[in-house]
Structure 1
Amino acid sequence: MKRVLFLCTGNSARSQMAEALLRHYAGDWFEVYSAGIEPKGIHPMTLKVLAELGIDASQQTSKSLQVYQGKLAFDYLITVCADAERNCPYFPGQGVRLHWPFEDPAACEGSEEVRLQKFRQVRDQIAARIRAWLDELGLLTNTPG
């Protein structure tokens, strides 16, 4: 199995969503991890919008990038925010490095409904990007909806 690490600043929303979605779509092909440059804990709305798709991410935890440095080699390192792309150190043995920038839903201000809509929007953008990537790799035809 190929190892994938999704990296963002806080490991609270985007990278957590990406971890859960890739595991959901292609967990038979990938070992999936996520981390943050400065982990802040998983945002409750992250878990809520994933649960709306039937994905239980409640066992995922917010982790620092240092948990993996020098311990695991990754076939793919995917940054999901500009800060992580700028500040991610080089990983010895690192495979392909990709950058998929997404807006931080945790930074959205407004009512609960406005913030929830932003989390859903970003979740759907991440899901679409993951599915496009799986298609590029020739795996999409074998993944569940």
Structure 2
Amino acid sequence: MEKKVLFLCSQNAARSQMAEAILNIKGRGRFAAYSAGLNPASQIDSFAIEAMKQDDIDISCKVPKSLKEFENVKFDFIITLCDKAINECPSYSSDTITAHWGITDPINFKGADEEKIKFYIKVKKEIMTRINVFLSLPIEKLDKLTLETKLQESEALLKLSQ
């Protein structure tokens, strides 16, 4: 049975959309990924679309979604991608495993278009790396506390390696 994963950030216009698409491809059959925002943008960020296209992943038809759309969905994992989301994330079932991946919002990057796309690609690669670590965990064999600890440890290890 597929585990449900929600990626949560502030606008659901870049990071969480990228994470949803990547996990749905890499974790097909094991995970069903979704994404939402606390204050959804009106559309997906064009630089996020372009960064994903470079890996033949099309998110251009996606739309930002509100967390409210998922209030009756039981998730196995909720992964926040920004500090605002972790601070404002509502409480969920005690069975839900939570983790925080503090990923810089590429929407705030200032620079020429070429510099922006390079930054979005860097963010996408960071998300891919984190998802690869997530997929490598023996999820079926670990209890909730151990999984949360491992997910937080992977956050610390990734920060050290940057």
- Give TM-score scaled by structure 1 length: 0.90
Partner of 1:59: 61
Identity of aligned residues (%): 35
Give the letter aligned to residue 120 of structure 1.
Answer: I
Give the letter aligned to residue 9 of structure 1.
Answer: S
Give the letter aligned to residue 43 of structure 1.
Answer: D
Aligned length: 138
Partner of 1:100: 101
Query: What are structure 1's unaligned runs of at least 5 residues?
Result: 140-145
**Change over 3 Å in CA distance of 1:89–1:3 after alignment to 2:** same
Partner of 1:143: none
Kindly report structure 1 stretches of 4+ aligned residues shifted beyond 4 Å: none
How do residues 69-80 of structure 1 correspond to structure 2 at under 5 angstroms?
Answer: 69=71, 71-80=72-81
Other structure's SS at 1:27 match? coil
CA contact (8 A) 2:20 2:35 kept: yes
What root-mean-square deviation, in Å, do the aligned CA atoms of Structure 1 and Structure 2 show?
1.5
Query: What are structure 2's unaligned runs of at least 5 residues?
Result: 141-162
Q: In 2, Cα distance between the equivalents of 1:12 and 1:30?
A: 21
Other structure's SS at 2:64 match? coil
Shift of 1:59: 2.9
**Structure 1 stretch 87-96 or stretch 36-45: which is displaced more?**
87-96
Which has the larger helix fraction? Answer: 2
The partner residue of 1:46 within 37, 45, 48 is: 48
- Give TM-score scaled by structure 2 length: 0.81
